[in-house]
Amino acid sequence: MSPRRRGSVHLASAVAESAGMPGRRVIAVIGAGASGTLTAVHLLRRGGSSVQVVLIDPHEPGLGVAYSTIDPQHLLNVRASCMSAFGSEPRHLLDWCSARGIDAGAQDFLPRRLFGAYLQSLLVRWAESDRCTLIAAAATAIESRPGEVAVRIECSDRRTVIADAAVLALGNGAPAGLAGIGPGTPYVADPWAPGALAQVADAHRAVIVGTGLTAVDIALSGAAARPEIELCAVSRHGWLPRSHLPERPEPRAVTAPAGPVSLEKLVVMISAEVRADPPAWREVVDGLRPISNDVWRRLSLQDRRTFMGELRSWWDIHRHRMAPAIGDQISRLQGSGRLTVQAGRLESARRHGDGARIEIRNGSSSRRFDADLLVNATGPSSRIRDSDDPLVRGLLSSGLAQADELGIGFACDSGGALVDARGLPSRRLFALGPPRRGELLETTAIPEIRAQAENLSRRLLSGPVGQRAPERVRSVAGAG
């Protein structure tokens, strides 16, 4: 069952009623994928009758990009035991599966669509009440004036939301465009856009730019839909993600260095840990996870830039691993020759007959491929200022937000409040999850997003946001 979306009449009525209730806070959550759903659920759970949540997203709530896939081969890359929506209830997801007759064990890597259904089910309890309102539109602009006790959010359907605070739960953005693409080249710019995977399924030969988890998904879907397909995945190093072990090893406790931290010292420390027991490298990588964000903040800006430019790819293939069954499938595709992986970069792609002629350069040598399709699987853009989202562009241009020092996501304080152009943290605008990439190394996986949602719910339901005149009118209304 999916949460019901309210029409404009019900929407205006629901929030107008809440405006008359002393102490009720209206929190707008922009984005209803995993980040937004977890934020909404934690607010509703914690806030009781004192909070009204308005979820704003044009897409089906609870799914986002990651969990809207219908391909059963697309699995979570985190074990079910770590995917509960509630940190204090680690078996919540497993119990939900059991109640529905779904066989799921703690060590299992579940289908992503199933996890999406789980997230959607969390909203159902409140979606029929006046405490959770779903707006099927995109947020296009935010206004928050100094001294005012509210934020004003304009939506693509011409409705306006006035709330005590807004949370940007935007998820991952689209990939950055590839350079060197000639006009008319058969090209998938975003593999998660509607119909994109169907284009891959229609191809006899496709070149995938990128060799991370997105490329793995594309390869699996393409090979399943067309057994004779030939796939070539290309990235700078030609590295595929490593695989998880069938049983989760116990992470090795790693202590953060005291005092000043340098990237060189960290590399030496991690290398020594791995050399001491090479087969246990997963335990070392997983043991770093609890301290990663603290250490990341303590690195100099230059060290963080060096990591992103030189070490990020190496880190990602070891940190963001494939489920064991997925790793086995990819190995079989490689063994059969249906999937090849090349080191190099895209030099150019031009239309050639009904397909594309693609040139890949690796150092001083280049190689030419004739394919039916070129697919961009490079992952979300790493430059927030290149975003084509009018909401993001407006926040940056208005000075309500600024890019972090690396230019990847928003600058935020330690609790997720947006930092404005003056360097001041907002009292009413917040972000969590992928928009905090750059300031945090670990911010895109469910365990970290869950923790951020829990912490934001505490912050938003206490302190300055709630200290406003109870008679102030907050409303959601049509503009026409």
Cα 454 to Cα 432: distance, rounded to the nearest angstrom = 11
Cα 451 to Cα 440: distance, rounded to the nearest angstrom = 13
Q: Structural domains in the chain?
A: 8-74+111-173+382-478 (3.50.50.60), 187-242+321-376 (3.50.50.60), 263-319 (no CATH)
pLDDT digits (tens, 9 = 90+) for 438-447: 999 999 999 9
Contact at 8 Å (CB) between 436 and 443?
A: yes
Which segments of 31-91 does DSSP mark as H helices, in order?
34-47
Q: Which two tokens stand for residue 285?
A: 């990588």
Contact at 8 Å (CB) between 138 and 155?
A: yes
Radius of gyration of the chain (CA): 23
pLDDT for residue 5: 44
pLDDT for residue 472: 33
Contact at 8 Å (CB) between 382 and 423?
A: no
Report the alpha-carbon angle 38-42-47, nearest 5: 150
Cα 45 to Cα 34: distance, rounded to the nearest angstrom = 16
What average pLDDT does the chain have?
89
Q: Residues in the chain with pLDDT < 50?
A: 1-22, 465-480
N- to C-terminal Cα separation, the chain: 32
Looking at residue 448, its amino acid is E
Contact at 8 Å (CB) between 164 and 157?
A: no
pLDDT for residue 362: 92
CA distance to 23, 207, 414, 440, per residue, from 297 (Å): 36, 37, 10, 7
Cα 41 to Cα 102: distance, rounded to the nearest angstrom = 23
pLDDT for residue 23: 60
pLDDT digits (tens, 9 = 90+) for 220-243: 999 999 999 999 999 999 999 999
Centre a 10 Å sphere on the Cβ of residue 167 and count the other Cβ atoms it contains: 30
Strands 165-168 and 355-362: unpaired
Q: Which two tokens stand for residue 214?
A: 């997105």
- Four-point Cα dihedral 156, 162, 168, 173, nearest 10: 10
Helix, strand or coil, per DSSP, at residue 207: strand
pLDDT for residue 149: 80
Strands 345-352 and 476-478: unpaired
Q: In what order do the strands lie in the sheet with 51-56?
A: 132-135, 51-56, 25-30, 165-168, 425-431, 417-419
Cα 466 to Cα 461: distance, rounded to the nearest angstrom = 7
Contact at 8 Å (CB) between 143 and 429?
A: no
Cα 256 to Cα 293: distance, rounded to the nearest angstrom = 11
pLDDT digits (tens, 9 = 90+) for 152-190: 999 999 999 999 999 999 999 889 889 999 999 999 999
Strands 25-30 and 165-168: parallel
Q: How far does Cα 219 stand from its chain's mean position?
A: 21
Instruction: Let me know how many helices (H) and strands (E) the chain has, helices first.
Output: 14, 18
Q: Which two tokens stand for residue 384?
A: 């927030």
Q: Which two tokens stand for residue 403?
A: 């890019």
pLDDT for residue 463: 62
Place of tokens 């006009």: 183
Helix, strand or coil, per DSSP, at residue 276: helix
